[in-house]
Structure 1
Amino acid sequence: MRTIQLSIKGMTCTNCEEHVRHTLQKSGAENIQVDYQKGKAEFQLPEGIKEGTIRESLQQTPYQPGEMIHITTADKNELSDTDYDYDFLIIGSGGAAFSAAIQASDNGLRVAMVEKGEVGGTCVNIGCVPSKTLLRAGQIQFQSEHQPFEGLSTSVKKPNMENLQKQKEKLVQHLRKEKYEDLINEYGFDFIKGEAHFVDSNTVSVKGKNLSASSFLIATGASPYVPDIPGLKDVSYLTSTSALELKEVPKHLVVIGSGYIALELGQMYRHLGAEVTLMQRSSRLLKQYEPEISETVEKFLKEEGITLMKDVHYQRIEEKNGQTFVHVKVEGNEKIIEGDQLLVAAGRKPNTDKLQARNIGIKLGDYGEVLINDYLETNHPHIYAAGDVTLSPQFVYVAAHQGGIVGHNVSNQTNKTQNLEHIPAVTFTTPSIASVGWTESQAHQAGYDVKTSVLPLDSVPRALVNHQTQGVFKLIMDAETNQIIGAHVVGENAGDVIYAATLAVKFKLTAEDLQETMAPYLTMAEGLKLASLTFDKDVSKLSCCAG
C-alpha cells in the first residue's frame, strides 16, 4: 500500500473536497483525506492501481492534479510537524474522547485534547457514576424499610444526604483521577483547558489561541433538554445534573418525563423518602419497549407509591413561596400538581452550539447533532464525531466503541466501521430493565415470522428464594431458524443477565443452544434458559434444574 500526497488545483469549498474524494475512491484510492484550503489530498493506493489512473480520473473533473509525492512514515511525521500543531485534536474528554486518544497515541500520533469543564465528561462526573452510587443508597434505604423476610426486623433512620453527597463526590474524584486524569500522562497526549470552536476546517481557537491539526474528533457530549413549556424557564427546576447534588430529600418531587433518567432519579428519591409524581405526554410508559415490560415497570412503580400520570398536556408552570405548580390537562380535565422540587428529565440535546460547526460547513441534524457515516466521519472526512453529540444510543460504552474506531481510523490503518446492531440497554431501576435486539413489533416490521416466550419472574427460582418476584423475561425467536433475535428482562441484575443474551443475539444462537447449555442454578441468568424452554414447555411443570 503506497501513501501519496497530491496537490490539486481548483478546490474552493467542502463540496469540492467531497467531489475529489469521491473521484479518488472510484479510482481505487483508500484512506482518503482532502483539504481544499491547502489544495492537497492524501490517500493510499493498493498494489495494482496505477498512479496515472488517478491523474486521468481527476483530469475529467474541474480539479486538476499537480505534484504527486510518495510519503514514507518518516516523511509523514516530518510533514505533520511542518503543517500542523497536532496530528489529531479531540474536543471533549469523555468516554469517546479518551478511547480515541489512547488508540491514536498508541499508534504514534501527536494528540491533543481540549476540555472546557471537568476532565472525564458526563459519565464519571455527572452521569453514570454519581447516579448509580446514589441509586444503590436509595435501594438499600428502601429495602431496609420494606424487606420481605418474616423473621427479620429492620429499621432505618432518615437519610443524611450531606454525608451521601460527600461519599459520592469522593468516589467521583477517585475514578476521575484514576480512569482519566492519570491516563493523560500515561499516554503522553496534551490536555488543553478551554472551550474550542472551529476557525477553519483544520484549525480551532481555544482562549484566543489557534491550534491546527490534520484530523479532529468532536466528542462534546450532550446536555439536558429543556422543553418549551410556558413559565418553565422562569421557575427553579432541577436537571439530571443538579438532581444528584441535593443536600435534602424533597418532600414532593415532580418529574417532567418518564424516560430512563426520570425513572432512575424518580425512584431513587422515592426510595429515599420523597413523594414522587412522574408525568409523561405518551399514553404508555416506555412505549419503545415490549408491552409486557411496560406493564411490569408501571406495576412496581405504583406499588412503591409513585404516581404516574400519562397523556399529560402541559399548560403552564409557576412558582410561589418556594413551591412549584405545574398546570396540566389530563383526559380533558385540568389539574395542578404541586411540589417543592421540579425535575426536568425530557431528554438530552447535543452540545454543538459553541463549536461554530456550521461556519465550516459541518452538517448538523434537526436536533443539532453532528451527522456521521459508518466510519464516524462528518461531511469533512478528516473531522470525526462520536458519542452523545451524534445522538447515537446514549451509553458510555457506545461512545467508547465509537471513539476507539476513530482512533484506529485516524492512525491510517485499515478503515473500520461502527457496529451498533447489538447494543444492550439497561435502566437501573429496582428491579432493573434490560433489552437487546428486536422487539416483537420491530421484528414483524422487519419481515420476520416470530415466536415469543414470556416467563414471569415467579417461575425463576432465584426470584422465589429472594421473595422478589416482580419482573418478566421475554424472548423473540425467528420462527424459521429458531435463532434468538431479541431479549427483554425486568428483574434483579437484569443488566448482568442481558450480556449473555447479547452474545446469544450477536452470535445467532438458537433456542435449542440455550436449552442445551447448563445454567447455574439459583442465578437470575437461569431465567434465560427457562425462557428458552418456555417456547415449547410449561416450565412450572419441570423439577428444579430440569431442562
Structure 2
Amino acid sequence: MALQWKLRIEGMTCEHCEVSVRRALESAGARNVQADFRRGEAVFEAEETADPERWREAIRKAGYRPGELSLLGRVGSVEAVSQERPVHGRTRRDAYDLVIVGSGSAAFAAAIRARDLGARVLMVEAGTLGGTCVNVGCVPSKFLLRAAEVYHLARHHGYAGIPTQAGPVDWRALVAQKDELVRALRKEKYADLVELYGWELVQGRAQFVDAETLAVDGRTVRASAYIVATGASPAVPPIEGLVEAGYLTSTTAMELEALPTSLAVIGANAIGLEMGQLFARLGVRVTLIEIMPRIAPFEEPEVSEALAAALQEEGIEVLTAAQVRRVERTPVGKRLWVQVGGELRSLEVADVLVATGRRPNTEGLGLDQAGVKTDRRGAIVVDEFMQTTNPRVWAAGDCTGSPQFVYVAAYEGTVAAENALGSDRRRVDLSVVPRITFTTPTVAAVGLTEAQARAQGYEVRTTVMPVAVLARAWVNRDTRGLFKLVADAATDRLLGVHVVADNAGEVIYAAQLALQAGLRVGDLAATLAPYLTMAEGLRLAAQSFGRDVARMSCCAG
C-alpha cells in the first residue's frame, strides 16, 4: 500500500532546485514528487516498506538539508493525517489550508496571497480558467472597443491634409484576433501562475454538503477555510417574449458570426454604452434604451448629458425614460414594443442586446447547507473582513454585493485570504473606488456625486469646466466633455471628481490619489500639471472655483 509523505527541505531557492529535489527523491524510490521551494518541502508517494533514510541521503547528496518527515496518509485518501503541527489552524481532518471556489481575479489574488503565506491551496473551477475579465469581460471588450475606435478615426479624424480611408469590416477576422489575445493572456496571467505559485487546480463543480465540507464532482474535500469567488453573469430582465425571441448579452455579442445590421441595446449604463458605441462604430445601426430618465444614470447629470450628445452625434439613437414592454420575433429579426412617455412605439431591429446588470453566480453552491447567507439578489452577505455568516467561509468579488470591478475583486480576494488564514485582520476599505466607462469620450469618476455629498450632510460647492478649456483637447481635435469637481464648502476638501474626456480613465487615478490623501481644492490648484495633458484639467478645474480659467493663457498658473 502506497503512502503519501511530506519532507521539509532547507536550501531550495528556485524552480531549478525543485527539479533537483524531485530527481533526487525519484532516484530513491519516491513517486509523484511535488517539490515547492517557497514552502521548503516536497510531497511524494512511496511504498509502506520504503526506507525514509534513503530519501534523506538522496537530498543530502543533491546539496540540500532534509528536515522533518510527516506522514500525510494513504494514497487516494482525501483527509490528511498530518503528524506535524497544523498550518494556519488546519486540523488533522483537513487536507487543505484553503479551498477557493472560482478562478477569476478575486480567486487568483487570494491564491497568490495564500501561497505567499505558505498555505496549501486548492482551487476549484467549473468553467473556463480565468473568470470573466480575461475571457468574456474587460480584455475582449476593450480590445474590440479599441479596434472600433481605430476604424472610426480612419473615417473621422479631423486633421487637414491627412487622407485616410476605411474598407469594410472583417468581423470574423477581428473576433479571431480577439480570441487569440484572450488565449495568450489566459495562459500567461492565469494558467502559468498556477504552476509558478504551486497550488492545486481541479476542474469540477463545487457544492457545500455541510458547514465544513465541500463536494467536487463526487470527491469530498475539507479545508480549514474556504473562499467563494464565483463572479457574476449577465442578468436578464423579465420582459414579455424576450426569451422566446432570443437575445444577446455582452458575452454572446462578442462571439457573433457576423455583425447585425441593426441592434437595440436594453440598458444604457457602462456595459450597454460600451457595447452600443462599439457596434455603432463598426457600421451597425444602434438604439440605446434606458428605463431611467438619462443614460449613465448613476453618474452626474452633466456627465450623462455630455455623453448622450457625443453618442447622438455619432448617429446612435438614445431613448430614455423608456421601458421595453414586449419583444417578438419577426421574419427578419426582432420587434420591440417600447413605452416612451405616454406613447407605445414599435422598433424593428436585427437583434437585441441585454445590458441590464449582472447577477452573482451563487446558485448550486449549496450555500444554505453551509450556513452562508445571501441577499435577495443572490449575493453572498459578507462583513467588513469578507467573512460570511459561516465563520469558516469567506467570499470576494462579484458574487458579493461589492462594486463589480476587477480591481475591487482582486483587492477583496487578497484581504479575504489574509483574514481566512489568520495572518491579519484587515478591513476592506471601498470608500474611494474609481470607475470608468470606456466610451469615446471616456467617462471616469471617483468619490461622491453632488447629490450623494448633499445627502451625507455636506455643504457642497461644485465647478463644471468644459474640456474645451484645455489645449490638449484642441490638439486632439476633440473638445467634447467636461470636468466636474465636488468639494466640501466648509473645509475645501475634495469629495468627488467626474470627467468626460479623452483619456479620462488615465486622469482619474490622480484624482483617486487626491481623494485618498484628503487634498483640498487649493492643494490641487497649486500643483504642477504637465502641459498639454488631459490630466491638467484637474488643476484647471480646481482653479475654476475662484476664477474664469477660459480667460487664462495656456500655461498660466
Q: TM-score, normalised by structure 2?
A: 0.84
Assess if the C-alpha contact under 8 Å between 2:86 and 2:92 holds in 1.
no
Assess if the C-alpha contact under 8 Å between 1:231 and 1:317 holds in 2.
yes
Partner of 1:144: 154
Partner of 1:372: 382
Partner of 2:450: 440
Residue 414 (structure 1) shift: 2.4
1:389-400 map, 5 Å: 389-400=399-410
Letter in 2 for 1:235: A
CA gap of 1:528–1:201, structure 2 versus 1, over 3 A, is: same
SS of 1:355's partner is: coil
Partner of 2:467: 457
Q: Which of residues 404, 412, 432 in structure 2 aligns to 1:422? A: 432
Letter in 1 for 2:344: E
- Residues 464-490 of structure 1: CA distance to partner in whole angstroms, max 9, x if unpaired? 111100000001111111111100000
Partner of 2:141: 131
CA distance in 1, matches of 2:125, 2:394: 17
Partner of 2:497: 487
Assess if the C-alpha contact under 8 Å between 2:212 and 2:370 holds in 1.
no
Partner of 1:56: none
Assess if the C-alpha contact under 8 Å between 1:270 and 1:276 holds in 2.
yes
Q: Which of residues 274, 283, 306 in structure 2 aligns to 1:264? A: 274
SS of 1:374's partner is: coil
1:508 aligns with 2:523: no
Assess if the C-alpha contact under 8 Å between 1:350 and 1:388 holds in 2.
yes
1:67-466 map, 5 Å: 75-77=85-87, 80=90, 82-466=92-476
- Residues 402-460 of structure 1: CA distance to partner in whole angstroms, max 9, x if unpaired? 00001111221120010100000000001100000011111111111121111101001
CA distance in 1, matches of 2:243, 2:276: 21
Letter in 2 for 1:317: V
Assess if the C-alpha contact under 8 Å between 2:337 and 2:346 holds in 1.
yes
Letter in 1 for 2:503: N
SS of 1:363's partner is: coil
Partner of 2:79: none
Assess if the C-alpha contact under 8 Å between 2:289 and 2:323 holds in 1.
no
Residue 515 (structure 1) shift: 1.7
SS of 2:402's partner is: coil
Assess if the C-alpha contact under 8 Å between 1:481 and 1:510 holds in 2.
yes
CA distance in 2, matches of 1:497, 1:450: 23
Partner of 2:553: 543
Residue 359 (structure 1) shift: 2.3
Count of residues in correspondence between the two structures = 475
Residue 268 (structure 1) shift: 0.2
Partner of 1:517: 527
CA distance in 1, matches of 2:195, 2:371: 34
Letter in 2 for 1:268: L
CA distance in 1, matches of 2:179, 2:139: 10
SS of 1:513's partner is: helix
- Residues 48-85 of structure 1: CA distance to partner in whole angstroms, max 9, x if unpaired? xxxxxxxxxxxxxxxxxxxxxxxxx9522397362112
Assess if the C-alpha contact under 8 Å between 1:104 and 1:410 holds in 2.
no
Partner of 2:80: none
Q: Which of residues 466, 476, 482 in structure 1 aligns to 2:486? A: 476
CA distance in 2, matches of 1:202, 1:87: 12
Letter in 2 for 1:544: C
CA distance in 2, matches of 1:92, 1:421: 26
Range 318-327 or range 493-502, more displaced: 318-327
Assess if the C-alpha contact under 8 Å between 1:205 and 1:211 holds in 2.
yes
Unaligned runs of at least 5 residues, structure 2: 1-82
- Residues 253-298 of structure 1: CA distance to partner in whole angstroms, max 9, x if unpaired? 1111111110000000001110000111111222221111011011
CA distance in 1, matches of 2:102, 2:141: 21
Partner of 1:528: 538
Range 306-315 or range 522-531, more displaced: 306-315
CA distance in 1, matches of 2:421, 2:372: 22
Assess if the C-alpha contact under 8 Å between 1:436 and 1:502 holds in 2.
yes
SS of 2:542's partner is: helix
CA distance in 2, matches of 1:142, 1:88: 48
CA distance in 1, matches of 2:500, 2:301: 12
Residue 137 (structure 1) shift: 0.3
Letter in 1 for 2:348: E
SS of 2:127's partner is: coil
Identity level (%): 45
Assess if the C-alpha contact under 8 Å between 1:405 and 1:417 holds in 2.
yes
CA distance in 1, matches of 2:94, 2:86: 11
CA gap of 1:331–1:78, structure 2 versus 1, over 3 A, is: closer
- Residues 308-367 of structure 1: CA distance to partner in whole angstroms, max 9, x if unpaired? 111223221111224111112212212111111110111110011111211232111010
Range 117-126 or range 351-360, more displaced: 351-360
Range 436-445 or range 321-330, more displaced: 321-330
SS of 1:241's partner is: helix
CA distance in 2, matches of 1:126, 1:335: 33
SS of 1:335's partner is: strand
RMSD: 1.3
CA distance in 1, matches of 2:278, 2:173: 16
CA distance in 2, matches of 1:416, 1:238: 40
